[in-house]
Amino acid sequence: MTQVVERLIESASKQGIEVKGVYGSSSSLARQISRGAPADIFISANTQWMEYLEQEVEGVEPAKNIASNQLVIVSGTHKLTLERLDDLSTWNKVLNGQRLAIGEPNTVPVGIYAEQALRKLKVWQTLSKQTAPMKNTRAVLAMVERQQVPVGIVYVTDAIQSKQVNIVSAIPTHLYEKIKYPAVLLTDKAVASQVYKTLYSKEMREYLLELGFTPLTK
C-alpha cells in the first residue's frame, strides 16, 4: 500500500492539502493509534487489526475496503520450481537446508496469511522451524532479492514491482483468508474527509489495477 499512499499524498498536494504518510506494519500502527498517536486516516493490510482499532477508538465510522491482494512464492533465481505446495519433499528440495522468508506470523498480515495457507497445505508444522520471520512484506522481499533465502512468501503486488525476483508459484486463494485492505476515517476534519474520499475515486481504482490489486470499490 506504500505506493497507494504516495499517490494519495500526490493527489492531495494538487488540491493544496499537505498529507504526511506514516508507514509500518498494520499491527504496529494500530497499536500506536490506539495509544493516542495522531492519525486522520488508517489503511490496514489486515481486517483483524482494523477491527481492533475500531474497538479501541470511539466514534469512528465503519471501515471500507479499498482492494484485495493475493499471495505468491518468489525466488531470486529463474531456476527454482515448486510443483506441489503440499509436498514436503518438494519444499525440502527448494529450501535445501536454508530458510523460508515470511512475515512474522503472529502480528504481520503477510505472515498471518502465509501461516494460514501452509497450515491448510499441512506443511506448517515442519516449515515453521525453517522460517525467517520478517517485520513486513518489504523485508521479506529484500531477503529474497539479496538471495539470503531461496524463497519467500509475499503479496503479488510487491512481487511484480521488483525486477530482482521471479514468481515461482501463486498460492491458491482458498487456502487463506481473503486479503482485503480496509481504510477508516479517524477524524471529522473536512480536509481529512476530502482525502479519504480520494481512496474510492475512479482515478485510484485505475491506479490500484496498475499495481496488481483488485479494487473493491464501486
Check the annotation: does 196 bind a ligand: no
Q: How many CA atoms lie within 13 A of 175 on its CB side?
A: 21
The amino acid at 133: P
Which residues have CB under 8 Å from 178's CB, separation 6+?
68
- Say whether 89 counts as a known binding-site residue: no
Nearest to 56 by CA among 39, 75, 78, 68: 39
Strands 100-103 and 131-134, bridge-based pairing: parallel
> Which residues, in sequence order, are CB contacts of 206 under 8 Å at separation 6+?
none
Query: Distance (Å, rounded) from C-alpha 71 to C-alpha 141?
Result: 12
Tell me the C-alpha to C-alpha distance, in Å, between residue 80 and each of 75, 97, 137, 210: 7, 15, 21, 27
Q: What angle do CA 154, 164, 141 make, to 5 degrees?
A: 25
Q: Which parts are annotated binding residues?
A: 26, 155
Q: Which parts are annotated binding residues for molybdate?
A: 26, 155
